[in-house]
Structure 1
Amino acid sequence: MKITNRFAIFAVVVVSLAGAGQALAADYLLKPGKEDHKWLLPASPVAPADNQVTPARIELGKALFFDPRLSSDGNLSCASCHSPMMGWSDGLPTAKGNKSKVLGRATPTITNTAYNTLQMWDGRKSSLEDQALGPMESMDEMAMDLTALFKWLNAEPTYKDMFARAYPGEPIDRTTVAKGIASFERTVTSSNSPFDRWLRGDEKAMTRQQIIGFRLFSDAGKGNCIACHHAPNFTDGGFHHIGLAAHDKVNPDVGRYAIKPVAAMKGAFKTPTLRDISLTAPYFHDGSARTLAEVMAHYNAGGVSKNNLSPNMKPLALSPEEASAIVAFMQALTTPAQPFVLPQLPFN
C-alpha cells in the first residue's frame, strides 16, 4: 500500500512517546518538509494604502500608546494593559480598567494582531485602526473625553510636530490618532521563535520533544489543534465555543453572539494566536487556565460545558507524554526578547 500522507506515516512510525518525546523511528520526521513552510509568516503585516508604516508614524503611535494622558484620569495608557514586560498583555485573569474596575475578559496580546482580519475577543472591530480608540471611548476602560483629547493634542507643540511629520496636511483627530497607534502596533510581531528557526533550516532550534509535539499538534487524529489554530499565525480568525466552565454560569458571556446573533456563535470567542504564548498566561478569554498544561488538560477532556459546544471540541485521549510534548512545542513559539526602548513622551 502506498502511503503519501506524512502524518499517516508519522502515526505508524512513532514507536513510543515515553520519556517526553523519545524514539521516532524515522529521522526525517524531525526535519521540516515543504508543507511545513506554510507556517512561516510573511515578512511584515499588510497595512492599508492610506496608512503605510513609516518611521514618523511608528514614533507617533508609540508615544500615544504609552501616554497615560489619553485616559480620563491620566493614569492609564494602552500599555497599562498591553505591556512589553508581560508579552504585550497584563498577566491578569481579566483586565482592569478605569478606577481599577475588574473587567469580564482577559487582555489579549497585541503580538501579531496586525495579521488578524478581525480584532477583539468578539471580533467587533475590523482593523487595527478601527479598534485603536475603542478602549479610550469605553467608560469601563480609559473613559476618555475625545473632544478634550483632540483639543489637548492640537495644543501640545511636540505632538503637533509629530502629527505633522507623520500625517502632513491631515488634522489631529480620531482618524490620525487611530492611524498612529495602529502603525506602532504593526511593529509588535513575533516571527523568530525556535519553531521559525527550525522551519528555516536550523535542525537544532527545537528539541526532539518539541518536534514531536508539533507533529501531534498538526495531526487531525491526535492533537487536532490545527482545527482552529491555522498556519501561519496559529489562528483561523474564527470563533468557537470551547466548553469553558464559565459558560454554565447564570448569564454567561455570549461572546461573538452579541455581534452576530447566530445560534452557533453563542459562547464563541475568537481563536487567539499561539505565538509568544508562553509569555501571556493566564489563558482563555476568561483567564481560567493558569498554565499551558491546564490548557491541554481542558482540550484533552473535550471541554467542561457541553452547551452549544463547537463540533471541533472532542476528547483527545492524549497520553501525559503526548500532552507534555504539545506543551513543549507551544513553548517553542516564543521569539527571544529583544531590548525595548520606551518613548520619551511630549511634555510642555
Structure 2
Amino acid sequence: MLGCPSEPAQAPAPTAGEAGSAVSESSEPDSATDLGEPTDAETVNEASPAATDDGSTPQEPTPEGTPEPEPAPAETPEPATSSATGNQELLPTSVVLGDESLYEGIPGEGPLTVEQVKEWLATPGVHESLSITLPLGLSLGEKQIVGIEENPLTRAKIELGRQLYFDKRLSSDGTISCASCHDPAMGYGAQTQFGVGVEGQTGNRNSPVSFNRILSGPQFWDGRAESLEAQAVGPIANPIEMANTHDVAVETVKGLEAYRVQFDAVFGADSVNIDNIGKAIATFERAIVTGPSPYDYYAAVKPFLDQFPTEDDLGELKEDEPDLYAEYEEAKALADEHPMSESAIRGRELFFGEKAGCTACHVGANFTDEKYHNLGVGMDAEEPDLGRFAVTGDEKDKGAFKTPTVRNIELTSPYMHDGSQKTLEEVVEWYARGGHPNEWLSEKIKKLDLTDQDKQDLVAFMKSLTGPFPMVETGRLPE
C-alpha cells in the first residue's frame, strides 16, 4: 500500500492504460501551462497536486488484501448513428485512462481541415461521457478523483483540449503554448529551473507537472487556483507566460472555423469563451496519467508472495483456488517483466519506514498528501518566496509549498518549487540535512541518519516509480 511498508494486491495491468478501478466520469477538468511565479496580472501557470473534494488528505488503500471493490461503470446511452457515419462502429465509452485512442488526434496528416473535423465529430461515441478506469497503481486513488462531475470527460472534449494545449496561437506572439512549459517529451514539465515565457521571460518557480491532474484539486505550488479550470486560463493573460489577453485569445480561437465547429459540438452554439477554453484544456490534462511502474507491479505480486512464501504453498493455492493462482501468475509475470532492483526494494523499506519517513508527506496513490509544507527551500534568500502565505495570509503558511507527486520524478528535474535541486541525489541530501532552519520550518522536517547506501537506495526507489506516458499527437491543429 502507499503509505506503509506493505501494499495491497493490485489487479495487474501491462500498459499505460490498464485496469485499476472503474469510475463514472464527470467533473471539472484542470489545465496547466505555467512558469510558477505569481504576478499582479495573474500568476504564472503551475499545476500542483490536488486536494480531495473535502480538502482532506487522500485516503490510503487498505493495508492488507486487495483494493476496495470498484464501482460499476455508469451506463451511457447508445447514440443514434447519423447519415454521415452510417453503420460506423460506436467508439468504446468505457476506457482505461492511458488508452492511446484518447490522444491520437483526428486521423489524417497536416493541419486539420474543417471537413476532417466535421467528419470526425459525427463518429458515434465521441460525445458520450466516458466511464473511466485508472491504471494500476493510480487505481488505488479513485476516491481522490476530482473535477469530472461538473465537466465530464468525452473523446471530443479531450481532443479539443489537446489541440488547445499545443496551440501557440493562444499566446501574444505565437511562440508559447501550454506544452512549452509542460512538454510530454520532458515528463510534462520543463527541464529548466524556471519556465520560459514570451520573449524569454522567466518566473521564479519551477514548472510543475501536468499529469495525474485527475487526482488534483487546488492548483499551483501555493494552491491559489481552486481547480484546473481556474488555473488553465491564467497563463494566457500572464505577462510573463503568454502575455495575451483573454479577449484576444478568444477572438483568435473564434477566427478558426475548425475550432468554432468543435466548440459548438462540445459546448453548444456560440460557446467560444475563456471558460470553455479552460474546460477543454483541463479535460485533456485530466486524461493524462502515468502508467504502471515497476513498483506498482511489485506491489501487485508482493501480497501473494507474503501469504504463499514457498513452492508448496503456491502448489496448494493452485490446487485449492485456481482462479486466484491465475491472478498470481499474471501478476508475477508482469513483475518479472518490469523488475525492481534490489536497491529499489531496500529503498522502498526506507521510504515507507520511520528511518526516512517520506510518507509523512508523500502518501496515497499519487504519492502526495496535497498539503503545504515549509522545507526551508529558498528561505535563506534576502526576500524569500513565502508561498502559501500569499494566498491565505496565515502566518503558519509562510514558506509553505504543495507536496508534489513522486511518480515519474526521474523525468522531471530540476526539483523543488524553485528548481534549486538538480538531481534526486541533491534532494535526498537536502532532506537528510533537515532542510534549512527558519521560523516556519515544518515539524515533519528533521535531520535523517542515512548512510550513503541508504541515500542511493532511496533514489533507486523513486526511480522505480517511473511509468509510461500514453503517446500523444502533438501536431494536427486547425488550419
Check conservation: 2:195, 2:206, Cα contact below 8 A: yes
Check conservation: 2:293, 2:464, Cα contact below 8 A: yes
1:253 paired residue number: 385
Deviations 1:192-246 (A, max 9, x none): 1111122222443312221221111011x211000011111111110111022x2
| Structure 1 residues 34 and 286: alpha-carbon distance in aligned structure 2, compared to 1, 3 A threshold | same
1:74 aligns with 2:174: yes
| Structure 1 residues 328 and 288: alpha-carbon distance in aligned structure 2, compared to 1, 3 A threshold | same
Q: CA deviation at 1:107?
A: 0.2
1:226 aligns with 2:226: no
Q: CA deviation at 1:341?
A: 2.1
The one of 211, 214, 237 aligned to 2:370: 237
Partner-residue secondary structure (3-state), 2:287: coil
Check conservation: 1:243, 1:309, Cα contact below 8 A: yes
2:138 paired residue number: 41
1:207 aligns with 2:207: no
1:343 aligns with 2:475: yes
Q: CA deviation at 1:64?
A: 0.3
Question: Paired residues, what number?
Answer: 317
Aligned partners of 1:299 and 1:328: how far apart in 2?
A: 16
1:11 paired residue number: none
1:281 paired residue number: 413
1:58 aligns with 2:58: no
Identical aligned pairs, as a percentage? 37
Q: How does 1:77-96 map to 2 (within 5 A)?
A: 77-96=177-196
| Structure 1 residues 344 and 288: alpha-carbon distance in aligned structure 2, compared to 1, 3 A threshold | same
Q: CA deviation at 1:165?
A: 2.1
Tell me whether 231-240 or 148-157 shows the greater mean CA deviation. Answer: 148-157
| Structure 1 residues 46 and 308: alpha-carbon distance in aligned structure 2, compared to 1, 3 A threshold | closer
1:194 paired residue number: 294
Tell me whether 110-119 or 198-207 shows the greater mean CA deviation. Answer: 198-207
Partner-residue secondary structure (3-state), 1:42: helix
Aligned partners of 2:462 and 2:211: how far apart in 1?
A: 15
Check conservation: 2:263, 2:269, Cα contact below 8 A: no
| Structure 1 residues 336 and 40: alpha-carbon distance in aligned structure 2, compared to 1, 3 A threshold | closer
Q: CA deviation at 1:35?
A: 7.2
Check conservation: 1:37, 1:199, Cα contact below 8 A: no
Aligned partners of 2:440 and 2:146: how far apart in 1?
A: 35
| Structure 1 residues 97 and 36: alpha-carbon distance in aligned structure 2, compared to 1, 3 A threshold | farther
2:204 paired residue number: 104
Aligned partners of 1:35 and 1:281: how far apart in 2?
A: 35
Aligned partners of 1:152 and 1:94: how far apart in 2?
A: 28
Deviations 1:53-92 (A, max 9, x none): 1110011000000000000111100001100010001100
Consecutive unaligned residues of structure 2, counting only runs of 5 or more, are: 7-61, 69-135, 302-331
| Structure 1 residues 98 and 305: alpha-carbon distance in aligned structure 2, compared to 1, 3 A threshold | farther
Taking structure 1 as the reference length, what is the TM-score of the superposition?
A: 0.86
Q: How does 1:158-169 map to 2 (within 5 A)?
A: 158-169=258-269
Q: CA deviation at 1:187?
A: 1.4
Partner-residue secondary structure (3-state), 2:211: coil
Deviations 1:87-110 (A, max 9, x none): 001100111122111210000011
Q: CA deviation at 1:323?
A: 1.3
The one of 229, 249, 263 aligned to 2:395: 263
1:260 maps to amino acid: T
1:293 maps to amino acid: E
Taking structure 2 as the reference length, what is the TM-score of the superposition?
A: 0.63
Partner-residue secondary structure (3-state), 1:259: helix
1:207 maps to amino acid: S
Quick check: which one's helix share is greater?
1
Aligned Cα RMSD in Å?
A: 2.2
Q: CA deviation at 1:276?
A: 0.6
1:297 paired residue number: 429
Q: CA deviation at 1:113?
A: 2.3
Aligned partners of 1:36 and 1:247: how far apart in 2?
A: 43
Partner-residue secondary structure (3-state), 1:314: coil
Check conservation: 1:91, 1:281, Cα contact below 8 A: yes
